[in-house]
Structure 1
Amino acid sequence: MKNALRWLIGNLGLILLSFILAALVWIAAVEQGNPTLEDRYPSRIPVTLSNPPEEMIPYGETDVQVDVTLRAPQSVWEALEREDIHAMVDLSGLGPGEHRLPVQVQVDRRPAMVLEVEPEAITIRLEPLMEAAVPVTVPIRGDAALGYMPRSPVVSPLTVTVSGPASLVAQVVRAVAEVSVEGARADIEGEFALEPRDAEGRTVPHITLSPAQVIVHVPVEQLSGFRDLAVTALLEGQVASGYFISSVKVEPPVVTVYGRPDAIAQIPGYLETLPLNLDQAQENVEVQLPVAVPEGVSVLPSVVTVRVAVEALEGSLTIQRPVEIQGLAPSPEITATVAPTMVEVILSGPVPVLEQLREEDVRVIVDLFGLSPGSHSVEPQVAGLPMGVTAQSILPATVQVEISSEITPTPER
């Protein structure tokens, strides 16, 4: 027993060294299979505020996001999600005023070590929470259309509640919802967002409004001596044969006339432009034309843009064409025949283009490239069609091709 104890004491250093070497070998093996990596997480982490004191409200850097640098095994990095990382600032036990507080980061997945947080601290202000009722005002922006006048807006509700830090709530004197009547010809009604404003008209930050929107109705009335009328383009002449007018657009489609009420009352529900001659037109037409108005009446705008879309009528044409062979190996010993030798091609496209089409310009081709001797069913293709013309079908859809080889095999010796 004493000899064993002496041996153990005498070899204690070697035993410890063996354990250390074994541990190092194990660590090296683990590192090789699942190495530890240090890196910054690719997404920024939002900071949450925890344990705010009662009847107090934090503001300042409350929507900060931080960069987090971690050390973790590769397997943890591969499984790590943004939701696994939590950045927090603890507000417990704090009183009113400004505080510079550290950002604490926790990682749900283990093992993982937080090496760096940037920024490492944020500034938060704490103040008593305050509420107040303020009136709603609705300033009208812009100008209504010519001959129209916006009236006083009708607002609901007339007051709203603002809440937030006491020093900021004290600055709010009104809640403002701006409404634009620019170019309006009819009443404006809808929900509009509110902004808390101070006495100088500046927006006060960190304030919550309840409700955050108000319903506003702005009556827009037409003044006496003004009238809105649609504009119709007066067209003359006939477009070229084979073409048709697909659309006529006037911009703006409505103009405003003003003048003596009795003269305006005699105008029908529309006005016409000066005549536009479309005789033999084969393409789209865009022109500026004056609006014709009776005496004693003025119009704004006095000139409109007329756009006339002219398109070709669509038609179809059936022709017979011979089948051409291409892609056959260039050898006199290899020949090919096709059946049938003529096919019918049904074409569709603009009538004027079809009328000018020469049948000899249309080619029907079978491509034999890469085909071996024997019998093949091949779909012919149509080439040489002008722009806008398409081949709807080929009758028959496939042709029979016989490829023959007259090469005499060399006798064996």
Structure 2
Amino acid sequence: MDKWLSHPTSLKILSVVIAILLFAVVHFDPELSPNQVASTIDTREFTAVKVGARGLDPDTQHLRSIEPSTVQMLVEGRLADLVATVPEVWVDVTGLGEGVHELVVRYDIPGRVTLRSITPSRVKVDIVPVQTKEFEAIIRTEGTPANGYKVADPIVKPNNRVFVRMPKDQLDAVAYVGAVINVEGVESNVVEQKVRLAAYDVNGNEIEGAVLNPSVVEVEVPITKPFKKLPLEIQFTGRLPIGMSIASFKPSTDTVTVYGPQDVLDEMEFYDEVYLNLSTVQRSGTYTLNLAPTGELAQIEPKQIDVEIELEPSETITLPQIPVTMSGLSEGMKARFIVPESGTVDLNVTGAPSVLADLTAKDVQVIADLNGLPPGTHMVVLDVHLPPFVAQSFPQRLTATVQITDGTEEGASG
């Protein structure tokens, strides 16, 4: 015995036996049955695994439904592997056309896990073809610009063509494609903005799931100011060279277009904020006048005008017996001229010979303004109205003596 125990091989065998016994003592669980100790395989059940689809071409296919949409799975394997398992369940729809198709359910699980069952093993998929249709983008505006400005038609850049891709059975629901831009309180000449396009139904509700190309466009919304076309009246400052008169005056336009707040335009009947300094007109020729907006006006067109002016040496003539017209006489009053008793005056006027040659008494008005005058004798300064480029010559100041009477008194005395 002593020799056997001292033999090296015997000692090695004994050491292995003792090690096995010690391992068994350490790992033994008295609460487990012998069968449980021996087994290392377990099972796991997944009750609602969603079924996906692979091979779907979004340009040509739309997956309307999968029925049923989930399956049950029972798998087995080591506990550690089962805990980490996240199964994927799917069907292959590659190349399927329109309609309902029954397909085998496929799955992906880790290699050390085994499928014991899958219920159901087949599902039905409904495939709808995808189509593309062209629309014109419609850009609407909301809000009101400032100062009564107006909104012109929006401009889509580079163009307003939009392609909408959707399932065939939903594409007919698209009434229009567009976007909305807010212009509330805008004062600038133009609003430039990038907007996201969307598809809408006939009720103006956005349709989800539509694929648009392009999906974003650049839009320019011109903000036009209210405008009004007005007669142009040119005013004069300064004096022509001594001895010269204007024979012809021809502006390149007799109207202008002004832009500004609507309430300002409503009050305007003509535009006369254009001035020609006659002291700069030394000879016949074409003169350029600059036009600029004044007051609350924002713009005026055109910005310049040309005026063709022809000068001639001045001439003076007398227009005899021009009637004097009374105006402004109070109601119930009567008036008569004392001086001149005839109620006419001789009027000396100066102008270009070609202009004076066509001048008649009908082109001239001489007015005695009696406005506010009481009964009695009054000397009034006469207002002389002459055609353009004709000036009153000597005397520069004409007067008349008028007697005003109360009509009732005169009637009583008569």
TM-score above 0.5: no
Larger radius of gyration, structure 1 or 2?
2
Please report the TM-score for the alignment, with normalisation by the length of structure 2: 0.37
Please report the TM-score for the alignment, with normalisation by the length of structure 1: 0.37
